[in-house]
């Protein structure tokens, strides 16, 4: 087979017919100084950043990397196809959701066989009434390489629907409106908004969050009146502090429209009557390390807050006492060192509480009389979560339950009688839960902390220190990684892979302190926790030391970059998807989306202590001449969360400096953003590529 090269500005372009022995792409070095108040750093690959995404030299390099992946993985195409087919075989293609009631209608969605997108519909009065299509997403997505219909809302009179749509993948949504009585699309459109729309009671005013066109930070709440020019949209609120994000919402009882602004360490909420959302009243003024979120039911507010409760508690205040401030707040739940309140939903007569304890997420019901009733579970590692509950006058609370073995099951429990009934078990064709085992183990970290780990493997998998291990974690922003059955994982388990979720510090599985111990100047705990979990599982003979694969994405990709630098010999393969790896340079640039939001997550490198600490772990800055494991890195050209040039630069520097001959593959999706291509099957199609590569590296390519 011949190999053809084309040289363009120092980039070796490889034809898709290239064989696996072709040399990896190399890219030109162009010295550039990144300056800061705390010193300058040389960055030979800074030039790969092009905010227009049109630089031909940069695009040629990305094309060369894609061609190299194609060549390297050509022999794995049959396995990739088999993995994809196995995954699709576990998906009920014509599946539908459990309808939920709201304002006289039952809303739900359904997939047609082979469709990437669902049809959203509603039925008037009952679940058996004729269906009315709200969104035919398969038709709407035609002609677009990317399509996402995000937040949508039906007007209070049920006659119109507004939604936020993205056809690029950059998360710059467009507001659109349809008349449901005629099916006609209205002329009203608003560009560059957050995926967040709310109607006022007049059925013609829509509140939305406008984004800054450069930083993509949502910073203004505006009101658009149907039939009027966008230029005349009324400004309701502008957030001047660029470390805050914002959203708009309606309260559970639909009496108020609220604007919520929040940062890592502070919240502020202001609300106005939904009948006239013009003058907004602040629920409680912002203060550092003071977080809260308020909802309304009847004649009182219920508030989740960390005031005198690190793991949050619920308080209440009557409408008449709201102006009296936090002194008028009365506790509904006590502060706890072991129970972390994740969220809540108010109903008439009770509150449903979403909480965490012992690393698991669970539900309990608290009556207005003070009786607390937990919903029980039988598995050692699981996840419960409140589901869609739009009606507040019902005693039935809908929630979901699942684990690494049990498919997601939708339940509802009666808050008055305790009766529980199953509404739906998510169908997983060809899957038998009895063939798999789930465990919760606790791995000791190097500082003595016990880290919870959720495990799943096929029955019969021997615990003899020979099995391959696939370990995942995220560990940032206080986002917890909960167990669930994944159709794309079943084929791996059937091939003998042990799958582990490391619930490392930086998430909130064990409460707010778990997060505090894994961010800012404690961030390295996330990396060492992950490594220590790996070493524990190997020592306990769940896996072979030479057969460990690790994976993380976005901030979890930062984790992968840190682990690759700190403990490369512990991993056969590391998969880093859309990885945040150029920490210091990105956080020095306030024009990049997310930067200003995240000073309280990573630190502000304008401050020396933060600069030095971030520099000590930033994956890009710590690439050295040493052996690295095999690496699969993915990115999207249109990513707005982690810009494409971060992983691009990281890969270029790794190619320059690593001393091993292990494969380094860099897949660039030229038509997508942070989440990859859209569509339910596309995700699994993309995953099949790195899964095939992983199985090859773990000795399971069959």
State the DSSP code for 183: -
Nearest to 619 by CA among 545, 568, 547: 568
Query: CA 672, 676, 679, 681 torsion: positive or negative?
Result: positive
190: enclosing H helix or E strand: strand 185-199
Residue that has been written with the tokens 């219909």 in this structure:
149
562: enclosing H helix or E strand: helix 555-566
Count other Cβ atoms within 10 Å, centred on residue 244.
21
Give the span between the Cα atoms of 17 and 577, in whole angstroms.
26
- Is the separation of the CB atoms in 87 and 488 below 8 Å? yes
- Beta-carbon contacts of 183 under 8 Å, excluding residues fewer than 6 positions away, are none
State the DSSP code for 596: G
Nearest to 163 by CA among 142, 182, 140: 140
In the structure encoding, which two tokens stand for residue 669, read together? 């999706």
State the DSSP code for 83: H
Residue that has been written with the tokens 């190999």 in this structure:
3
The values of phi and psi at residue 527, to 5°, are -70, -50
In the structure encoding, which two tokens stand for residue 235, read together? 């400004």
Residue that has been written with the tokens 């519909």 in this structure:
121
In the structure encoding, which two tokens stand for residue 465, read together? 């220190």
- Is the separation of the CB atoms in 179 and 172 below 8 Å? no
DSSP letters, 236-302, are EEE---TT-EEEEEE-TTSSEEEEEEE-SSBEEEEEEETTSTTS-EEEE---TTB-EEEEEETTEEE
HEC profile for 483-528? CCCCHHHHHHHHCCCEEEEECCECECCCCHHHHHCCCHHHCHHHHH
Query: CA 75, 574, 10, 54 torsion: positive or negative?
Result: positive
In the structure encoding, which two tokens stand for residue 429, read together? 């064709």
Give the neighbor-by-neighbor strand order of the sheet with 173-179: 148-154, 160-166, 173-179, 185-199, 205-211, 218-225, 234-238
Catalytically active residues, by annotation:
554, 639, 674
DSSP letters, 619-633, are TGGG--SS---EEEE
Nearest to 359 by CA among 334, 345, 342, 335: 342
**CA distances (Å), origin 412, targets 128, 295, 365, 608:** 20, 22, 12, 52
Helices (H) and strands (E) in the chain, counts: 12, 39
In the structure encoding, which two tokens stand for residue 604, read together? 């502000």
In the structure encoding, which two tokens stand for residue 408, read together? 């997601």
Give the span between the Cα atoms of 412 and 424, in whole angstroms.
10
Nearest to 205 by CA among 177, 245, 171: 177
Instruction: Using only the alpha carbons of the chain, give its radius of gyration.
Output: 26
């Amino acid at each position: 087979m011949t190999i053809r090269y084309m040289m363009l500005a120092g980039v070796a372009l490889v034809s898709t017919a290239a064989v696996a022995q072709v040399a990896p792409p190399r890219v030109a070095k162009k010295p550039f100084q990144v300056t800061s108040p705390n010193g300058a750093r040389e960055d030979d690959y800074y030039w790969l950043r092009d905010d227009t995404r049109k630089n031909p030299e940069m695009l040629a390099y990305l094309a060369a990397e894609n061609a190299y992946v194609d060549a390297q993985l050509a022999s794995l195409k049959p396995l990739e196809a088999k993995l994809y087919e196995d995954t699709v075989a576990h998906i009920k293609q014509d599946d539908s959701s459990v309808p939920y009631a709201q304002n006289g209608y039952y809303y739900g969605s359904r997939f047609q066989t082979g469709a990437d997108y669902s049809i959203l519909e509603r039925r008037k009065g009952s679940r058996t009434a004729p269906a009315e299509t709200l969104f035919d997403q398969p038709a709407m997505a035609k002609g677009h390489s990317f399509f996402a219909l995000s937040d949508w809302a039906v007007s209070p009179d049920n006659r119109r629907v507004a939604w936020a749509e993205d056809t690029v993948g950059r998360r710059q949504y467009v507001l659109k409106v349809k008349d449901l009585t005629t099916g006609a699309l209205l002329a009203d459109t608003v560009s560059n908004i957050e995926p967040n729309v709310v109607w006022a009671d007049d059925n013609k005013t829509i509140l939305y969050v406008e984004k800054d066109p450069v930083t993509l930070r949502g910073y203004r709440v505006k009101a658009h009146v149907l039939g009027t020019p966008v230029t005349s949209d009324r400004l309701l609120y502008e957030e001047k502090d660029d470390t805050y994000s914002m959203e708009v919402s309606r309260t559970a009882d639909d009496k108020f429209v609220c604007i919520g602004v929040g940062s890592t360490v502070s919240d502020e909420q202001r609300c106005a009557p939904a009948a006239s959302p013009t003058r907004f009243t602040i629920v409680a003024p912002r203060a550092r390390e003071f977080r809260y979120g308020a909802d309304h039911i009847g004649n009182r507010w219920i508030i989740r807050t960390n005031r005198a409760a690190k793991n949050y508690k619920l308080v209440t205040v009557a409408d008449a006492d709201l102006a009296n401030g936090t002194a008028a707040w009365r506790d509904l739940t006590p502060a706890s060192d072991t129970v972390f309140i994740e969220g809540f939903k108010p109903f008439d007569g009770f509150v449903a509480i979403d909480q965490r304890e012992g690393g698991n997420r669970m539900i309990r019901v608290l009556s207005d009389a003070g009786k607390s009733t937990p919903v029980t579970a039988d598995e050692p590692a699981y996840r419960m979560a409140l589901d869609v509950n739009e009606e507040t006058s019902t005693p039935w609370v809908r929630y979901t339950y699942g684990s690494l073995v049990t498919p997601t099951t939708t339940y509802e429990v009666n808050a008055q009688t305790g009766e529980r009934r199953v509404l739906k078990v998510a169908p997983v064709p060809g899957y038998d839960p009895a063939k798999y085992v789930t465990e919760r183990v606790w791995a000791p970290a190097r500082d003595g902390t016990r880290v919870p780990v959720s495990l799943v493997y096929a029955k019969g998998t021997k615990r003899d220190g020979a099995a391959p291990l696939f370990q995942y974690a995220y560990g940032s922003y206080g986002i917890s990684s909960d167990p669930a059955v994944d159709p794309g994982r079943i084929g791996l388990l059937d091939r003998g892979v042990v799958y582990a979720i490391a619930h490392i510090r930086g998430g909130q599985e064990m409460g707010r302190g778990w997060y505090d111990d894994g961010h800012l100047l404690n961030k390295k705990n996330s990396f060492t926790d992950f490594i220590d979990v790996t070493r524990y599982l190997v020592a306990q003979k769940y896996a072979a030391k030479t057969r460990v694969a690790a994976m993380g994405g976005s901030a979890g990709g930062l984790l992968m970059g840190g682990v690759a630098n700190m403990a490369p010999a512990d991993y056969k393969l590391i998969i880093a998807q859309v990885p945040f790896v150029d920490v210091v340079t990105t956080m020095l640039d306030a024009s990049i989306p997310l930067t200003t939001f995240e000073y309280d997550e990573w630190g502000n490198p304008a401050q020396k202590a933060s600069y030095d600490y971030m520099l000590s772990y930033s994956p890009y800055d710590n690439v050295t001449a040493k052996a690295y494991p095999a690496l699969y890195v993915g990115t999207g050209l249109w990513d707005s969360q982690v810009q494409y040039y971060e992983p691009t630069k990281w890969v270029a520097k790794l190619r320059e400096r690593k001393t091993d001959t292990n494969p380094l593959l860099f897949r660039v999706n030229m038509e997508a953003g942070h989440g990859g291509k859209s569509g339910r099957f596309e995700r699994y199609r993309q995953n099949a590529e790195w899964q095939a590569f992983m199985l090859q590296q773990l000795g399971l390519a069959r």
